[in-house]
Amino acid sequence: MSIRARLALAFALLLGLSLALAALALGRLDDLTTKSREMVDRQAQRALLAQQANRHAQAAAIGLLSLLQTPRREDRVPLYAAMDAELAASDRGVRALGEGAADSGEQAMMARVADIRQRYGELFQTTVETLEIEGQAPARAHFMARTGKLLNTLLFETDALEAGIQARLQSGLDDMRTVAAEARHAVMLGALAALALGAVLAWIIGRGIVVPLREAVGLAGAIAGGDYRAAVPCCRKDELGELLRSLDSMRDSIASREERLARVAYVDLLTGLPNRAHLMEQVAKQAPQDTCALAILDIRRFAPINHALGHAVGDRLLTELGARLRHHLADGNEVARLWGDKFAVLFTATDRAGVQSRLDDLLERLRQPLAIDGQRLDVDASVGVALFPADASDAASLMRRASLALDAAKGCQCGYAFATDIGAEPAPEQLSLIGEMREALAADQFVLHYQPKLDLASRRVAGAEALIRWRHPQRGMVPPAHFIPFAERTGFIREITPWALRRAVADAAAWQTAGLNIVVAVNLSARDLLNRELVAEVGHLLATSGLDPRRLCLEITESALMDDPDLALHHLHELAALGLKLSIDDYGTGQASLAYVKTLPVHELKVDRAFVAGVDSTPRNAAILRSTLLLCRELGLSVVAEGAETAAEIDWLRANDCDLVQGYAVARPMPEADFRTWVAAHAEARAVVA
């Protein structure tokens, strides 16, 4: 039965009981009132009759006494009529009392009064006859002897009758009080029964509501706490049963949704591998005494494959690689896809030697060709590794250190690199500088310093490299090594380089106007070289400044050509077509220098300072430099020796026909105004020597 039906039934029962009690009480009160009225009326009437009969009898007796005292007959005649009337009225009262007698006692008393009344009438008549015949004295003697005594008896009995009727009236009233008390008791008992029934019904209904509600609250609390296994009492068929069934359905729906959300939150939907969040939780579970290693893999050549064959093939490639990683790793090692073409492996209970062995095997398996839609795909990977707890003791730091190691591995093209080998992370104050660079650019806090390039044959200043400096209002002069690497990582270098180009071209144009034949060199990063607006911007600067294109040199590193070689080579050919010079910076530190010398439209090589330092006393450095100088002469390229710091090194370079030299042995980088002064002083000194 539903709660609504139970409540309706309970209220109906209480209302019916209340109505029944009210009807009972009203009925009993009506009966009591009617009976009381009837009894009071009857007893009062009988009492009145008794009083009247007694009064008429007394009046007749008084009339008789008056008659005995009246000597004249004509005076006695009216008295006879009055006496007859009083006696007749007394007789009627006695007869009426006799007719309404309620019990045998009262009937006996009425019979006795009637008998006495009859005898009194006979004696009264005899007294009257004696009076009329014999005179007053005999009549009075007869009255005193017999009639008076019987009259007194009649009056006594009449008084007794009245008293009896009054007693019966009082008894009736007592009976009515008893009946009223019984009626009141019955009503009180009914009221108490109604209250008891109401309490029982309230308890039953309340229990029927509260207990299921308590169960529903407990179930809701269990659901809120994540417990979806609590039993649900679904046997009820009322509204609360429907509520419990709804909670049961809601619990199943929430559990299902949470399962799906957990899958989305912790599983990569493309590969089915755990995702970054799951991996970070696994790392966080490592105890301080545990040892593990986090390796981040970046798939090489994925971008060209994705661009050439489409994202569908790229997705299938990632899926296949994820399956291959999972298949070839032992149990206990966690594989996850982080994002894009980056995967991660958590090697548990291992050290550096164990990680190296596993990575060698893993990379060997990854390099095995894959066939997708008839296409043979060859991939490789760069890996960055961070050790727990040697490199970091928390998940976020371990991930960051592994990412830095991955950058190092991609830069050196060496397969994998360990975070331990790349040094410490950037200092917090260096990181804060990143957020200040945009403000510094807007506030013109960047300046260019110029380091001269000396022509060894003519001993004149033939060029200058533009080197950016940050004149920080609080930290003073900030060297480029503290902010340029971060600018390249964040992409802000693409805003710094245009500024440096504009300033360097403007300074070189001013030098050109002043008659200084100096080539200014500006460094380009990998992001700059891949900028599709680069060629147009450089052409616009040359056109608006009036600078001879041959007096502008753009220096690039081999690493700048790695990300998109085709686009980089295309931009270099376009820049060369503008008539400016191109230089390969840090030559000798890359892996494919000769290939670039052969294919790139460059005019100059800058030999890295690692080969220039101590060239006068280090046979190996000397051999490398001699071969490089010979190669460049055959190819028609000029050579700049970078980082010369001693006069002996400069003498060796001049003796071996090196074209240009740059380093502290010539001059340190200096502001533009100082550079002009230094160039003028050097020219004067050279003229004096000549």
Structural contact between residues 561 and 569, judged by C-beta atoms closer than 8 angstroms: yes
CA separation, residue 271 to residues 18, 259, 313 (Å): 75, 18, 13
Looking at the structure, tell me whether residues 557 and 669 fall in a common domain.
yes
pLDDT in tens, 396-430: 889 999 998 998 888 677 788 998 887 666 555 55
* End position of a domain, from candidates 137, 161, 190: 190
Domain boundary among 167, 190, 213: 190
The answer to whether residue 332 sits within a structural domain is: yes
> DSSP string spanning 194-252?
HHHHHHHHHHHHHHHHHHHHHHHHHHHHHHHTT-----------SHHHHHHHHHHHHHH
pLDDT at 236: 64
Residues 530 and 677 grouped into a single domain? yes
Model confidence, pTM: 0.51
The mean pLDDT value for 444-464 works out to: 94
Domain containing 473 equals 432-588+608-689
Render pLDDT for 570-598 as a digit per residue (tens, 0 to 9): 899 999 999 999 998 878 765 545 666 77
Is 57 in the same domain as 172?
yes
Give yes or no: residues 440 and 337 share one domain: no
pLDDT digits (tens, 9 = 90+) for 250-276: 777 777 777 676 666 788 888 889 998
> Does residue 625 register a pLDDT over 80?
yes
Residue type, 272: G
Number of domains in the chain: 3
Q: Which pLDDT score, from 0 to 100, does residue 62 have? A: 79
Which of 190, 222, 237 is a domain's end point? 190
584 lies in the same domain as 493: yes
**What percent of the chain shows pLDDT beyond 90?**
28
| CATH code assigned at 612 | 3.20.20.450
Per-residue pLDDT, 549: 95
Segment 64-118, tens digit of pLDDT: 777 777 778 787 778 777 877 877 777 777 777 666 655 677 677 777 877 877 7
Does any domain span residue 512?
yes
How far apart are alpha carbons 659 and 637 in whole angstroms?
10
- Are both 560 and 671 inside the same structural domain? yes
**pLDDT: which is higher, 613 or 307:** 613
User: Does residue 35 belong to any structural domain of this protein?
Assistant: yes
- Whether 72 is in a domain gets the answer yes
pLDDT-based confidence at residue 318 (cuts at 50, 70, 90) = very high
Least confident of 208-222, 559-573, 601-615: 208-222
**Residue 208 is assigned to a structural domain of this protein:** no
**Same structural domain for residues 397 and 340?**
yes
168: CATH: 1.20.120.1730
pLDDT of residue 407: 85
Residues 326 and 366 in one domain: yes
HSE, CB side, 13 Å, CA atoms: give it for residue 26.
Answer: 6
Tell me, yes or no, whether 375 and 309 share the same domain.
yes
pLDDT of residue 592: 46
Same domain flag for 579 and 472:
yes
- Has residue 226 been placed in a domain? no
Identify the pLDDT of residue 26: 66
280 and 373 housed in the same domain: yes
- Per-residue confidence at 249, pLDDT binned at 50, 70, 90? confident
Q: Residue 589's pLDDT is what?
A: 66
Residue 481 and residue 437 in one domain: yes
pLDDT at 213 over 90: no
411: domain CATH number? 3.30.70.270
Which range has the worst mean pLDDT, 105-119, 490-504, 538-552?
Answer: 105-119
Separation CA 529–CA 522 (nearest Å): 12
Task: Give the separation between CA 1 and CA 11, rounded to whole angstroms.
Answer: 15
Is 517 a residue whose pLDDT tops 70? yes
Quick: pLDDT tens for 341-359: 899 999 887 888 888 888 8
